[in-house]
Structure 1
Amino acid sequence: MISTELAGLRLAVVNWRDPWHPAAGGAETYAWEMARRFAAAGARVRFVTARARGQAPYQLVDGVRLIRMGGLFTVYPLVLYWLLRRRSRFDAVLDCSNGIPFFTPWVLSRRTRVLCVVHHVHDRQFAVLPFLLAVLGRFLEGPGARWTYRRRLSVAVSPSTAAAMRERLGWLGPIEIVPNGVSVDPGGGSRERRPRIVCVGRLVAHKRVDLLLDAVPELRERWPDLRVDIVGRGPEEDRLRARLPEGTTLHGYLPDADKERLVAGARLQVIASQGEGWGLCVLEAAALGVPTVAFDVDGLRDAIRHGETGWLVPEGGDLAKGVAAALTELDATHADRCRAWAARFDWDGSAARMAALVLGRSVAPMRISGWEHQ
């Protein structure tokens, strides 16, 4: 339960996007689930973020005041300027890093508690950017952030994110873990008799949806009636749509109810990403009784219990063989294990843990099915 001490607390959540932004993903869900629960507990919450075309600059939703400004890159200086003008008005700030944090300690009063929330380490993903932007990105995520937040508490969403922060970024400050929750209807729909695979996520380069498309022809040699459904949108959508193999449908954006119905009808979810903070879509599929096949990479190795709630393919391994093995091994017990696993994670519990950190309280180490973080 969230502490009643949040009542009256002045809190800013700064995040690259909000959940209604056309490029929103799991990081936006995480930030919003925290913000609205804090507001329900009596905190005065401002969600400061970028503004997509057609979005209002100000909006009140679930007791949270949304303030939108700037675009892909300009949101960072604009948010800092907005906070600078109000530097003494906030008791705490959740500074959410989507590859690059907002560096809010530079403009806030020293008494303001700042928690840097990190979903996953992006260092390798910056390679898709032009050279100078990649160099700048790596500097800001690495030495720049390491120095800025060295005396501030940081929050990672999974043990592998915390490990990557230490090992790949040389993070100096304390790190606590606050995992994602799940908020889908576990009822779901009926599973089809023919094999169906689903892939849910942003259509961006590091999700590597191409690897799944490459695997489809080989899988259909063994299961000729195999269907593959891809749900999501992003800059890769047009390119991927132009090379869809037979039996594959790219749905683009789907409302949550339609997406959940599609996932619930699948036998497997396949995620080919090169790394995640956690992989919220894995947990959401598990709540619907659907296991996930993914590569053994950051975040996904935390979200999946190999052989129980999904299967992990060695990075660089043969995805088609991994999916084929999963389809062969799959039985009714996996759905039950998936639902039991997902039930261990809920947004109320995660928000209560985050609230304790915002209030400066100590929290117990995370111990979930072998997770242990000191």
Structure 2
Amino acid sequence: MREVLLLCWRDTGHPQGGGSERYLEQVGAQLAARGVKVTLRTARYPGAARRERIDGIDISRAGGRYTVYPRALAAIALGRLGLGPLRGIRPDAVIDTQNGIPFFARAAADAPTVVLVHHGHREQWPVAGRLVGRIGWWIESRLSPRVHRDNQYLTVSLPSAEELTALGVEGARIAVVRNGAESVPARVPAGDDSTRTAHPSIVVLSRLVPHKQIEDAMAVAAGLRARIPGLHLDVIGDGWWADNLRAHADELGIADAVTFHGHVDEHRKHELLSRAWVHVMPSRKEGWGLAVIEAAQHGVPTVGYRSSRGLTDSIVDGVTGLLVDDPVQLVEAVGDLLADHEARTVLGEKARARSREFSWEQTGNGVYEVLSAVARGERVSGLVAPALVEP
């Protein structure tokens, strides 16, 4: 494997960047550390440079939310002619990230394509509006599987792989490489009783967008406030839905019991996680749920929805956290954990032990294995959990 091209509609510096972008860039950094030439083509946003090099990845930016797609295809096509920002790029494989809509890289690239899908977006498309939502879901569920009927697929969890097969993608072409996790920053003590807040506390780590359903976590705080005095909710993350959430806190009468921390650096994020008693992840849909593992690194169990699909892989129900079926059960489960120190500690410590199974190095190794196979004309299926591989 000599060179790869990564395509994604955002990068981690984007105001709306999240776990999908982090996965791709961490993989890119691991590949670059092996000596692979890595180029990331993504959208531009205010304050972002057109070209930048981060962690060994050459980043090329152009276009916006929708125009990023045709502009990337044009750049790839021109690059093959020795023109434009991608001139000189000769990848052995292309990772086409499908965040609802893929780039359809095979239309412009002469290298084999790997379609990276974190999860299906059927439940999220309505947010885009009725017409756009219907078109988007048709592209994701009908057009993309047909166009990519011979391509390798890559996803991050077993439930997401099942979603792809339900759309008609052959299981023999779906590889699963789970998310990794970075080590807790050296200056932050791993969570334990000495770091927890004196008052009962729950935390949410998420982008603030509608499908993350942060309102349900706020409903937990509102519903338990009388039963558990001093309960506080910390919301870590930012997004275009933030103002609506602040207004909702006012409507529920819990503005004084909720702190919106916004986007924070890694040190502060882990510091806040180490203070929490319980992590709540009420998302409508997740491919994996990286925040589950990050909370687990501090011995903090997660409560989330079974219907989110991806959390059924990142959470071992009743062992490292709890899965529930509706908002009423969410309130009950969180309340029970907050009231039971022993149960909370047992779940948290088992979650901490499991978190040690995941690293970005291992994730990078897994994706390297998939890309190498694709470059040889082969296909990979099932869970890829490789040992360390020499570059």
TM-score where L is the length of structure 1: 0.91
Q: Which runs of 5+ in 2 are unaligned?
A: 81-88, 386-391
Supply the distance in 1 between the matched residues of 2:367 and 2:72 (Cα, whole angstroms).
Answer: 22
The code of the aligned residue for 2:100 comes to: G
Secondary structure of the corresponding residue to residue 269 of structure 1: strand
Cα deviation for residue 363 of structure 1 reads 5.9
- Alignment partner, residue 371 of structure 1: none
Pair 317,113 (structure 1): closer, same or farther in 2 beyond 3 Å:
farther
| Aligned Cα root-mean-square deviation (Å) | 1.8
- Alignment partner, residue 92 of structure 1: 93
Alignment of 1:183-222 (within 5 A): 183-185=182-184, 187-189=189-191, 190-222=195-227
Give deviations 1:292-332, integer Å, cap 9, x for gaps.
Answer: 01010210111111122111011465321121123234343
Give deviations 1:325-369, integer Å, cap 9, x for gaps.
Answer: 23234343223211111111111111111101101167684388x
> Does residue 278 of the first structure (1) align with residue 288 of the second (2)?
yes
The code of the aligned residue for 1:202 comes to: R
Would the aligned equivalents of 1:184 and 1:260 in 2 still touch at CA under 8 Å?
no
The code of the aligned residue for 1:205 comes to: P
- Alignment partner, residue 3 of structure 1: none
- Alignment partner, residue 19 of structure 1: 12
Give deviations 1:98-152, integer Å, cap 9, x for gaps.
Answer: 111111111111xx12110110100121011222111110111111110111101
- Alignment partner, residue 161 of structure 1: 160
- Alignment partner, residue 318 of structure 1: 329
Q: Which runs of 5+ in 1 are unaligned?
A: 1-5, 369-374
Compare 172-181 and 113-122 and name the one that shifted more. Answer: 172-181
> Does residue 328 of the first structure (1) align with residue 339 of the second (2)?
yes
- Alignment partner, residue 355 of structure 1: 368
Pair 73,311 (structure 1): closer, same or farther in 2 beyond 3 Å:
same
> Does residue 268 of the first structure (1) align with residue 281 of the second (2)?
no
Supply the distance in 1 between the matched residues of 2:10 and 2:162 (Cα, whole angstroms).
Answer: 26
Pair 65,73 (structure 1): closer, same or farther in 2 beyond 3 Å:
same
- Alignment partner, residue 287 of structure 1: 297
Pair 316,324 (structure 1): closer, same or farther in 2 beyond 3 Å:
closer
Count of residue pairs the alignment pairs up: 358
Alignment of 1:1-374 (within 5 A): 6=1, 9-87=2-80, 89-109=90-110, 112-167=111-166, 169-172=167-170, 174-185=173-184, 187-189=189-191, 190-244=195-249, 245=254, 246-296=256-306, 297-315=308-326, 317-329=328-340, 330-360=343-373, 365-366=382-383
4+ runs of 1 displaced by more than 4 Å? 361-365
The code of the aligned residue for 2:351 comes to: C
Secondary structure of the corresponding residue to residue 226 of structure 2: helix
The code of the aligned residue for 2:104 comes to: F
Pair 71,180 (structure 1): closer, same or farther in 2 beyond 3 Å:
same
Would the aligned equivalents of 1:100 and 1:140 in 2 still touch at CA under 8 Å?
yes
Would the aligned equivalents of 1:353 and 1:363 in 2 still touch at CA under 8 Å?
no
Give deviations 1:169-217, integer Å, cap 9, x for gaps.
Answer: 2224710101000104174351123211000101111111111112212
Residue identity over aligned pairs, in percent, reads 34
TM-score where L is the length of structure 2: 0.88
The code of the aligned residue for 1:188 comes to: A
Would the aligned equivalents of 1:113 and 1:358 in 2 still touch at CA under 8 Å?
no
Compare 264-273 and 79-88 and name the one that shifted more. Answer: 79-88
